């Protein structure tokens, strides 16, 4: 189910959006939906990265903790 919303945008931004919409052969609504979905996906990534950083700040990795993965990093050029 789609719901109509009203947003306020600066004229310059709206002009850029309209250019992109035309180039992509879409419409403002579809463009906005995609932009919102991408922004939400990025927000999830940013949140997970922040939680990772906080976790490693609380409990830093030990120097030799990741050595077990060293063979997995080999590219076979040696």
DSSP for 28-69, written as a single string:
HHHHHHHHHHHHHHHHHHHHHHHHHHHHHHHSPPPTTTTGGG
**pLDDT: which is higher, 68 or 22:** 22
Instruction: Examine residue 32 and state whether it is found in any structural domain, yes or no.
Output: yes
Count of domains for the chain: 1
SS3 18: helix
Residue 66 domain flag: no
Does residue 33 lie within any of the structural domains? yes
Tens digit of pLDDT for each residue in 19-33? Answer: 999 999 999 999 999
**Residues 24 and 31 sit within 8 Å (Cβ to Cβ):** yes
Mean pLDDT of the chain: 93
In a domain, 76, yes or no: no
Parent domain of 34: 12-59
- Inform me whether the pLDDT recorded for 78 exceeds 70: no
pLDDT digits (tens, 9 = 90+) for 35-49: 999 999 999 999 999
Q: Is there a domain that residue 68 lies in?
A: no
* Mean pLDDT along residues 42-59: 96
In this structure, is residue 34 part of a structural domain? Answer: yes
pLDDT at 71 over 70: yes
Contact of 17 with 28, CB cutoff 8 Å: yes
Give the containing element (helix H, strand E) for 77. Answer: none
């Amino acid at each position: 189910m789609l719901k109509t919303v009203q947003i306020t945008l600066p004229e310059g931004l709206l002009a850029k959006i309209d250019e992109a919409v035309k180039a992509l052969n879409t419409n403002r609504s579809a463009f906005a939906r995609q932009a919102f979905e991408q922004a939400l996906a990025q927000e999830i990534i940013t949140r997970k990265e922040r939680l990772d950083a906080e976790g490693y700040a609380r409990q830093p990795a030990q120097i030799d903790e990741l050595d077990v993965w060293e063979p997995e990093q080999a590219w076979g050029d040696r």
